[in-house]
Structure 1
Amino acid sequence: MRKNCKLALLGLFITGWASAQIDTSELGELRQGKEYNISQKQTFPDFTYQSSDHEDLTKIRTKYGLDAIAGKGSDIERAKRLLKWFHEEVPHNDAPNIESLNAISIIDSYRTKKQAHGCYPLSIAMNEVFLAMGFQSRTVICFSGRYPSPEGGHVINSVYIPSLKKWIYMDPQDNAYIMDEKDNLLSIAEVRERLISGGVLKLNADANYHGKADDLNDYLYTFMAKNLYRLICPLKSEFGSQTRAKGKTIQYVELLPVASKDPVVDGFETNTNAKTGVNVINFHTNNDRLSGKNHNPHFGLSIP
């Protein structure tokens, strides 16, 4: 069993684990909000992914020896090695975010000060590690459908695996990825669909929370079943994209089920911070297949 954990972002708290048994109310809420509207027509800016040749990503790759860590082999094997390395490199602990949210600051703050981090910074750093190694990757902020407060949440990654031609679910906090009954890696959307339909879901054997093996029921059927209702992705996937620098504009796309309530204003909804001038723009959609204005790439959360 996990303690409730918190990660603060502009007054928003992402809280962690609860029960070690399947909570049917969590699945019920997800099932009630299962429908998307693939006929919905709207546009938003395209998702973009910084090139691994960018100087900041090149610095990450060389500073931490990522080529050797990823090693040889398939893109699947390399992604798994990067996930495991980062999970072991920076432990989880719920604490206020550091000001500069990028992989170098996050990794080095643990190396020099033993400062562990919450799921949000961990996902940001993991995302930049994947980008540095040439993977398209996004941070995915996961919330419940509970209003006015989401009652916690979790932040993971969606990583595109070229050999599979699909996005897969990866969680750096727990060194976790999800598989079907044949050990095929699953996307976030496939995990969500199988939670709703009752399909088989498997966790990798070395998935763990603070060194203790993850319990499938606890992690998926309670914790993530609650938090796979409302999904938010930054539109720009690049070094330092989530650092809230003075006057900066940050754009998100938020995927919500049909007939869901409008979220309250929080750190990820459209707003302008009066003190910092940080401008957040959030594009809401009920269409999980929707593309950006140039139709490439798609949201990355739909079932292939």
Structure 2
Amino acid sequence: MRKFIAAFLVVTCVTLSAFSQSSVPDEAFEQSYQVSIQSVIAAYNRKDYVASNAELVRFLQKFKVLSADIKQKYKGALVNQYYSLSCVNALSGNKNKAILYLDSAVQNGFGNYKNMMADTDLDGLRGDTQFKTVVEKIRARGDYSYILQKSGMYDQKDKRVALKFTYQDSNAPELVKFRKNYKLDSVSGNGDETSRFKNLLFWVHNSVKHDGSIDNPKNKNAVDLLEICKKEDRGLNCRMMATILKDAYQAMGYKSRMVTCMPKDTTDLDCHVITIVWSEKMDKWVWMDPTFNAYVSDAQGTLLNVEEVRTKLIAGEPLVLNEDANWNNKKKYTREYYLDYYMSKNLYWISCDVKNEWDAETRSAGKPLIEDIHLYPGGFSKIKGDKLSDQTGITYATSNAAYFWAKPGK
């Protein structure tokens, strides 16, 4: 029962969240959907699965005749209806219908493998061969550890890309000004390299609230981003927060990049951007995520880089998320959600800009196109061939992780 009700709540929240990023919500639809949900839940709690089924079918038929625009905006509701119909039919003993409805949920985007496997409503189906076939479809889409394990090896002999990542010197005028005006020496403190990394991370996290639904400002550098947030009392998405931290690190003399972490599913637009900073002490890149105030360590407390985290997720080895990882100082994040779910999904392939400097992603007339490099595992690729050029930029493909994560200057 808990999983069934949670499915309603989660899908509703996800639907409305995704919808709010694109346009104005349809209040009539949302109101009728919530009324239907409550009716289904009430019948479910009475164990009146026939009534639950009837209401789910009624709303499903109503949904199918809505405008294409509304159906697209609220497509998560359709997935929910099919999954919920699978649950109540399984509880009623209608195995064939339950499996067909679950397959319809999959065909419309359902991929919550973890919850589906734990959902006791479906226990009566688990021995069925057809059910197991549908489960494998869901696993291939939503079991992110499994997907990572199947991603394939990198090719350290891949020589397709000859470009070197470049970084800005801390003596650049804009970085010097940023460091002075924002008192970054005081922010970073007098501790060792690791404590300075963390203090700058905490500062960005606490200076700007995260808002994934808001458009990016025109000027994409730390000062302009911080100032517009203060002036308009607004937030920034993960990419812009990572930009501020990257500029802060480079102002303090530490080489830094933004890292775009991407899922395998090409229809999944929910990626995540973090910052990495080069540690001379550890001779490697270190993971720093200003959106969630997060860094990752091994069981011995050693800070890890992106590839180390990815490798340990695949191998099922211990990972430790800092205790104070959170969203906007409101919601605590756990290792289970942040690493096992969210970042497992978003570490299938990686992208980084070639040039890491002030205003690197600010568009202006006459400015060179942005170049980025994609690191792909196995035979996977998002682009045809080794290089893709269009009006927005130039993308290069590599499968050479050693090249991609090389020490600055190498």
Give the structure-1-normalised TM-score: 0.84
Which residue pairs with 1:214 in the alignment? 333
- Which residue in 2 is equivalent to 1:240? 359
- Residue 263 of structure 2 corresponds to residue 144 of structure 1: yes
Aligned to 1:63: 181
Counterparts of 1:32 and 1:60 in 2: how far apart (Å)?
A: 44
Percent sequence identity over matched residues?
Answer: 30
CA distance in 2, matches of 1:97, 1:121: 7
| Residue pair 1:103, 1:128 contacting (<8 A) in 2 also | yes
Q: Is the 8 A contact 1:46 1:295 kept in 2?
A: no
User: What are the equivalent positions in structure 2 for 1:9-28 lying under 5 Å apart?
Assistant: 25-28=143-146
Deviations 1:148-206 (A, max 9, x none): x2431000011111111111111010110000101110010000001000010111111
Aligned-residue offset at 1:271: 3.8
The equivalent position to 1:261 in structure 2, one of 345, 370, 381, is 381
Post-superposition CA distance 1:257-285 (Å, at most 9, x none): 12113348xxxx83433xxxxx4111100
Please tell me whether residue 287 in structure 1 is matched to residue 406 in structure 2.
Answer: no
Q: Which amino acid aligns with 1:184?
A: T
Return closer, same or farther for 1:221/1:56 CA change in 2, 3 Å cut-off.
Answer: same
Instruction: Please state whether the residue corresponding to 1:156 is helix, strand or coil.
Output: strand
Structure with more of its chain in helix, by fraction? 2
Structure 1 counterpart of 2:372, from 243, 246, 252: 252
Q: Distance in 2 between matches of 1:255 and 1:284?
A: 6
**Matched residue, 2:165:** 47
> Judging changes above 3 Å, is the alpha-carbon distance between structure 1 residues 41 and 135 closer, same or farther for their aligned structure 2 residues?
same
State the Cα deviation string for residues 197-252 of structure 1 (Å, max 9, x = none). 00101111111012221121111111100110110001111000011223431111
Q: Alignment partner for residue 343 of structure 2, among 224, 248, 257?
A: 224
Aligned equivalents of 1:80 and 1:141: distance in 2? 20
2:289 alignment partner in structure 1: 171
**SS across alignment from 1:254:** strand
> Relative to structure 1, is the Cα distance of residues 113 and 295 closer, same or farther in structure 2, using a 3 angstrom cutoff?
closer
Corresponding position: 1:190 with 2:308:
yes
Please give the alpha-carbon distance, in whole angstroms, between the structure 1 residues aligned to 2:205 and 2:264. Answer: 28
TM-superposition CA deviations, 1:67-123 (whole Å, max 9, x none): 001110111110100000110001101211111111011111122211100001111
* Deviation at residue 46 of structure 1 after TM alignment: 1.1
- Ranges in structure 1 where 5+ consecutive residues have no aligned partner: 9-17, 274-278, 299-304
**5+ residue gaps, structure 2:** 1-9, 22-110, 116-138
More strand by percentage = 1
Which residue number in structure 2 is paired with residue 86 of structure 1? 204
Name the count of aligned residue pairs: 278
Q: Normalising by structure 2, what TM-score?
A: 0.63
Going from structure 1 to structure 2, the CA distance change for 1:113 and 1:49 (only over 3 Å counts) comes to same
Compare CA radii of gyration and give the structure with the larger one.
Answer: 2
Cα offset for 1:44? 2.5
